[in-house]
Amino acid sequence: MALKIDQDCINCDVCEPECPNDAISQGVEIYVINPDLCTECVGHYEVSQCVEVCPIDCISKDAETPETQEQLMAKFVRITAITE
């Protein structure tokens, strides 16, 4: 499942540079995660880097975009094939 940032976001700017897929960007009011690019860091890291650095724990799995580990890995392969 892709991750999402909830309304508790304080715009601290620490999550955006940690995303290896450039899935995080500044939204209208808070940072947002593009579910088409979010792999929960599968293929890059053991744990989601944005979740690790978020000082207020406002990043969680997005129930609206359920994905298995295999689907996340397939997305990683697709994304990295495009960017390399």
pLDDT in tens, 15-70: 999 999 999 999 999 999 999 999 999 999 999 999 999 999 999 999 998 999 99
Mean pLDDT of 77-83: 82
Cα–Cα distance measured from residue 83 to residue 28, given in angstroms and rounded to the nearest whole number = 26
- Write out the residue range of the structural domain in which residue 60 sits: 3-83
Under the banding of pLDDT at 50, 70 and 90, the label for residue 83 is low
Contact 47, 17 (CB under 8 A): no
Under the banding of pLDDT at 50, 70 and 90, the label for residue 1 is confident
Please count the structural domains in the chain: 1
Specify the pTM.
0.90
CATH number for the domain that contains residue 73: 3.30.70.20
Q: Which amino acid is at 13?
A: D
- Of residues 55, 80, 79, the one with CA closest to residue 5: 55
